[in-house]
Amino acid sequence: MSDNHQAAARLLREAYRGGAVPPLRDYLEPVDIAGAYAVQEINTRFWQEQGRRIVGRKAGLTAKAVQKQLGVDQPDFGALFDDMQVADGGFLDPARCLQPKAEAEIAFVLGADLLSPDVTPDEVAAAVSSVHAAIEIVDSRIADWTITFSDTVADNGSSAFFVLAGEGRGLEGTDLYTAGMVMEVNGEIASVGVGAAALGHPLNAAAWLARTLAARGAPLRAGDIVLAGALGPMVALNPGDHVVARVGGIGACSFTYSKE
């Protein structure tokens, strides 16, 4: 990994405490896929050495319109660490965020490893232990969200926190494709969407993630949480906001963007 990659990784780590930084164009071309994941990997290893534990992965850029906007034809991924999970019904202190936005998703908890770089959506379905309504709180260490594909990948997929519904359900009899999503902020509808928004089907997104990680030698394992991508538009958060995500046939989860 180059000195440029190390410098970009250090800049992003410092941004968590020091505030958002300019786009990484001095370190990465806008669609330098390999370089961006190299930066992400540097910080992932750094945080693991600091004692943070990976509990799953997130798929991002699962909407074709967003891919087109960033000039790519593929999703991206980031690591989910144990300290990123906010309890269902819990609180997220605004002091821990820079410029956060919430998006409603479908999440899977795996009951089996997914080791093959050729895994199919059906094989993912067979490995799923439970499916949950989820909220991802994305954030960017890049000022004003002026991101390229390389910026968001290097920045751990612009991830920050996530909420998983306390109660999941089995996949059998669950129609993920047509599952409707409503996200409310302070009792008002702020975003609507559907399961098919996530790469055509949430299991497609999970299978893409499983294949990609297996090919990189870091496969998804039993017990991992998988966030399968946004079902509708993200919504900027303001202190005091109470956010509820409801996904038809699956469940609901919530959090409040304030100190306890």
CATH code for position 11: 3.90.850.10
Q: 107 pLDDT exceeds 70?
A: yes
Pull the structure tokens for residue 183. Answer: 């996200």
Give me the mean pLDDT over the 22-42 stretch. Answer: 96
Cβ neighbour number for residue 174 with a 10 Å cutoff: 18
Confidence of residue 1 (pLDDT cuts 50, 70, 90): low
Are 11 and 21 a contacting pair, CB within 8 Å? yes
Q: What is the distance of C-alpha 63 from the center of its chain? A: 13
Confidence (pTM): 0.96
**Hunting for tokens 């992932």 — which residue is that?**
44
Residue span of the structural domain in which 103 resides: 3-256
188 burial level (CB within 10 Å; 0-12, 13-18, 19+)? exposed
Strand partners, 255: 90, 243
Span 46-60, average pLDDT: 98
- Residue appearing with tokens 């966030």: 227
Query: b or e along 25-45 (b: 16 or more beta carbons within 10 Å of the residue's beta carbon)?
Result: eebbebebeebbbbbbbbbbe
Distance CA 139, CA 215 (A): 27
DSSP string, 52-94: --EEEEEEE--SHHHHHHHT-SS-EEEEEEGGGEEPTTEE--G
Per the structure, the count of domains in the chain is 1
